[in-house]
Amino acid sequence: MQLDKVDLNLLRYLDSLLREQNVTHAANQLGITQPAMSNGLRRLRDLFHDPLLVRTSDGMMPTALAIQLQPRVSLILQSVDEVLHLGQSFDANSSSRVFRIMASDYAEATLIPPLMARLQKDAPNVILDVMNPSDVSFHDVEKGKVDLIINRFETLPQSFHQKSVWVDRFACIAHKDSELAKNPSLDTYLKSQHVWVSKTGFGVGVGVQPDEVQKLGWVDSTLADMGQKRNIRLFTRNYNVAMRATEQLGLVATLPLLATRLLADNCDIVVLPTPFEIPPVELKMLWSPLLQHDPGHMWMRKTISACAQVIAESN
């Protein structure tokens, strides 16, 4: 097979087909018609003398050869993309680009407002589209449909690029008249009623099972290791709801310290150190290899890192 006789656009078709495993979806991703993509698949099959994608009861599935080709084709396209972006620059002051960022409630509340304030100065026409975890899948990020995901993660796809945003420690918030505010001990903490708040990962969430302690996160796993359990009366995925519950319902919330700043002006709430040691939480941002060398994307990552550093240093 001679290179000068191969249409290199077919590699883009192949990469999209292997990602989507669906001719129509692959065509939509590349902005071409479904017949054009079907013709591209036919040419690819002729080129590699292999069906590449086979229709099964579970949909289109890649052949053994296609599985071997996928990482190599992806690497080739990334290298070409890097070459094409050499010498290019991103003019933040004039750009009107929309950056789509999936952020957890914690990340959105603590990072996005200061980030937007910086963008208003440095990139007045840039637009942020902030999405929540239930809006996004890892597949969306892998395809570059979402620029960045900013969240806490237990497991990560190895193909993604990642960077730490900051490391935060936990704190308690309680009403100033609560027993915990008067006596911030472990015994008082365990006797108090609590609000649980968390939302990590992707996709539509499922209901919490209070007895499945190991699935409730760092706070409850740490208590379980101590042979203890807190009395959780309210489960929520919204940090604002959790913090209002401390003010209006007298519940205790245990959450990252940076999030407690949202109540800095509330005289009825006190911020207390946790009466037991909880491992710190790391906020990370992840992105697709497809966007690694994009000048605008590189600028945004750098801007987020600079903004996050200022926030973390004031902690």
Report all structural domains of the chain as residue ranges with CATH numbers, in order of start: 3-85 (1.10.10.10), 98-167+282-313 (3.40.190.10), 170-279 (3.40.190.10)
C-alpha distances (whole Å) from 73 to each of 11, 17, 46, 256 are: 7, 11, 17, 41
In the chain, % of residues over pLDDT 90: 48
User: Above 60 in pLDDT, residue 30?
Assistant: yes
Give CA–CA dist 157/280, Å, rounded.
22
pLDDT value at residue 4: 58
Residue 233 tokens, joined: 């009366």
Mean pLDDT of 206-211: 59
Residue 37 pLDDT level (bands cut at 50, 70, 90) = confident
Residue 170 pLDDT level (bands cut at 50, 70, 90) = very high
pLDDT value at residue 203: 47
Q: 280, 284, 258, 283: which is closest to 271 by C-alpha?
A: 258
Chain-centroid distance of CA 30 in Å reads 24
pTM of the model: 0.70
pLDDT value at residue 207: 55
